[in-house]
Structure 1
Amino acid sequence: MNQTFNVQGMTCGHCERSVTNAIKQLDPQAQVRIDRPQNLVEVDSTASREKIAAAIREEGYAVAA
């Protein structure tokens, strides 16, 4: 399922890798695309929206509803 998240606080490539790795730990098959200037993270995964958002938050980023 394709889902888009508004993620605040990503400022660099390291941030993008942290978010990507957190999602991949949850679902290794997930496809992650990040548009840092727009604060968007697009995820194609079988994991629930709540679990993906929680994984991103655990890395220290705010996820808007």
Structure 2
Amino acid sequence: MLAARPEYLDAAYSAAIARYGTFHAFISTALGVDTLTQRRLRDNLVTGSPSTRHHGAAAHPDQGD
């Protein structure tokens, strides 16, 4: 079974922000995903309110919108 440990997700998120400034910039630049595709993915995959969408107890300030 695959698991996503919160500390690993937090470390990856922090590394992306440190290098690219925002998570949106990371997805756009490093992964080459355009804004429309990001929005479609978010609409289909993300659940919960904006304050609970991220894996940690507190939401990250960069929602990438």
TMscore range, shorter length: 0.3 to 0.5
Q: Quick check: which one's helix share is greater?
A: 2
Task: Give me the TM-score of the superposition, normalised by structure 1.
Answer: 0.33
Q: Which has the higher contact order (CA 8 A, sep 6+)?
A: 1
Task: Give me the TM-score of the superposition, normalised by structure 2.
Answer: 0.33
Q: Quick check: which one's strand share is greater?
A: 1
Higher Cα radius of gyration: 2
